[in-house]
Chain A
Amino acid sequence: QSALTQPRSVSGSPGQSVTISCTGSSDDVGAYNLVSWYQQHPGKAPKLMIYDVSKWPSGVPDRFSGSKSGNTASLTISGLQAEDEADYYCCSHAGSYTHWVFGGGTKLTVL
């Protein structure tokens, strides 16, 4: 059960776009269109931002978008805002026994 690989940190200026990658394997990200993304501010519970690779839960702005190619999923945040500064985690289904696996997390800094 290896964690999915995410960059430790990314940064961008307000108004810019940033992309966070999430690399897994043919057993998880590559095998299922069941990737989700979470935003976590300090001291708060994670918040679902994207599910099923590219779908938005109710209330999440469409500045957040998800995609997948092969064993790598990506979260793109466009029109960066100060409140987007947070930790972001990806998660993928990983089969019947492992069930779910998370990425190590990426700290987004808005410059």
Chain B
Amino acid sequence: EVQLVESGGGLVQPGGSLRLSCVASGFTFSTYEMNWVRQAPGKGLEWVSYISSSGSTKDYADSVKGRFTISRDNAKNSLYLQMDSLRAEDTALYYCAREYTTSGFDPWGQGTLVTVSS
């Protein structure tokens, strides 16, 4: 079964840091592009970051550029999101998602909740 499982969320103070992880199983992780997508409570989906299959290309939404860093370890079938200088507006459920052929995200993980509050 193709599966993604996120972890690492939690409560953090403004200005703090968190590192999210996403472990993949059921497919050849190293051949797929991956993304992080977030959803603030009661709000819509927002693309956060992209990484190519090799890890050589990375893109970020303007809202997180310079503060978040995406990375992957293909040997460990794992995707990461290092989040620094966190703000209240970063509070959201963070999903990792595999790119499905040319467009589309499938599957999605169950999400990990990040809450930024003092």
Contacts and interface: CB of A to CB of B under 8 A. Distances in A.
Nearest to A101: B47
Interface string A69-110: 000000000000000000101010100111111111100000
B45 A105 contact: yes
A61 interface: no
Contacts of B105: 36, 38, 46, 48, 91
A22 interface: no
A45 B5 CA distance: 12
Interface in B61-100: 61-63, 95, 100
A18 interface: no
B14 to A, nearest CB: 23
Given A1-B62, A45-B95, A57 B44 contact: no
- In the complex, which range does the number of interface residues on chain B fall in? 20 to 34
A88 to B, nearest CB: 10
Contacts of A87: 44
A35 B47 contact: no
B110 A102 contact: no
Contact of B46 (A35, A52, A102): A102
A1 B108 contact: no
Contact of B100 (A51, A98, A100): A51
11 contacts: A32-B103, A34-B103, A36-B100, A36-B103, A40-B45, A52-B103, A91-B45, A99-B35, A99-B59, A102-B45, A104-B44
Interface of A: 1, 3, 32, 34-36, 38, 40, 45-48, 50-52, 57, 87, 89, 91, 93, 96-105
